[in-house]
Amino acid sequence: MFGFSRSPSVLPGFRLTLGFALFYLGLIVLIPLSGLFFKTATMTWEDFVNTVTAPRVLASYELSFGASFIAAGLNAVFGFLVAWVLVRYRFPGKRIIDALVDLPFALPTAVAGIALTALYAPNGAFGKVLEPLGLKVAFTPLGVVVALTFIGLPFVVRTVQPVLEDLELEVEEAAASLGASRWKTFSRIIFPAVLPALLTGFALAFARAVGEYGSVIFIAGNMPMISEIAPLMIITKLEQYDYAGATAIASVMLVISFVLLLAINLLQAWTRRQTTAGR
């Protein structure tokens, strides 16, 4: 009736699995998010606008989304390089480096924030070297970027790595035998194949960075209008028992994040279609 073809299988059918999938998605994702909007709806429109457009809140949005975008961009570049080295080369200590990539996953975010603050503080190992050069990291927006870059790197590496492993070396050898330079081989063969996965890693790193709190709160300094992130503003509202204000800020973050991620996913789908058509 709906055009679905079904082959004999011991696994449950489409309708049953779809029902379970939608039930789980609604229970874990949709119901909590709808509660967020329902709580925000208890505010008047004027109160909502005043809350989400307050100067401190706007500054926190700018820092959170701006720093997240920069950190995700840095991870897209250097995460690709790390994945390339891990896939294409053999060297002593490779397994240790491969395990270290996952360290931000396993390390509690608060511990990461404290460690980064200790390193980049003016009296820290890195801070006392950078401070005389006029480069202050801790307690500045730059420190926020450093923390978000740290926690987002594994998303890019682990997304790109399997694609590079599946990329056949024979294709590159054929291009080289036909006279293609290294740059042309990379730009015409390797990069188009890796780009969809790279965009996925970028989106995952960006999404993780936007909502990050634990690793940022220590190194940011939390100075109003300078280094306050949006999650901190939500926590501040909750501590003041302003639950509607907290959900209002969270709702705006959710909508902006959804729009940005949707745009990235559409770009990823378009890139995949272009790559397929090029073949």
Burial of 148 (0-12, 13-18, 19+ CB in 10 A): buried
DSSP string, the chain: --S------SS--HHHHHHHHHHHHIIIIIHHHHHHHHHHTTS-HHHHHHHHTSHHHHHHHHHHHHHHHHHHHHHHHHHHHHHHHHHH---TTHHHHHHHHTHHHHS-HHHHHHHHHHHHSTTSTTHHHHGGGT---TTSHHHHHHHHHHHHHHHHHHHHHHHHHHS-HHHHHHHHHTT--HHHHIIIIIHHHHHHHHHHHHHHHHHHHHT--HHHHHHH---TTTT--HHHHHHHHHHTT-HHHHHHHHHHHHHHHHHHHHHHHHHHHHHHHHHHHH-
- Which has more confidence, 202 or 6? 202
User: pLDDT band for position 170 (50/70/90)?
Assistant: confident
Residue 129 pLDDT greater than 80, yes or no: yes
According to CATH, the topology of domain 44-278 is: MetI-like fold (1.10.3720)
Question: Is the pLDDT at 256 greater than 80, yes or no?
Answer: yes
* Average pLDDT value for residue range 182-200: 84
Q: Which of 28-32, 57-61, 118-122, 215-219 has the lowest mean pLDDT?
A: 28-32
* pLDDT tier, 1 (very low <50, low <70, confident <90, very high otherwise): very low
Q: Per-residue pLDDT tens for 131-167? A: 888 889 999 999 999 999 999 999 999 999 999 888 8
User: Which is more confident, 14 or 40?
Assistant: 40
**For position 134, what pLDDT does the model report?**
85
Q: What is the pLDDT of residue 36?
A: 85
Given a cut of 80, whether residue 2 has pLDDT beyond it is no
- Picking from 6-10, 103-107, 202-206, 226-230, which range would have the lowest pLDDT averaged per residue? 6-10
Residues 16-41 have a mean pLDDT of 85
pLDDT in tens, 46-58: 999 999 999 999 9
**What local confidence, expressed as pLDDT, does residue 273 receive?**
75
**pLDDT band with cut points at 50, 70 and 90 for residue 275:** low
Q: Residue 81: is its pLDDT beyond 50? A: yes
Q: Please compute the mean of the pLDDT values over residues 81-110 and round it to a whole number.
A: 89
Q: What is the pLDDT of residue 17?
A: 81
Binned at pLDDT 50, 70 and 90, residue 12 comes out as low
Mean pLDDT computed over every residue of the chain: 86
Q: For the chain, what are the domain ranges?
A: 11-41, 44-278
What contacts 185, CB < 8 A, 6 or more positions away?
172, 175, 176
As a whole number, mean pLDDT of residues 209-219 equals 90
Would you place residue 206 in the very low, low, confident or very high pLDDT band (cuts 50, 70, 90)?
very high
* % of the chain residues with pLDDT over 70: 93
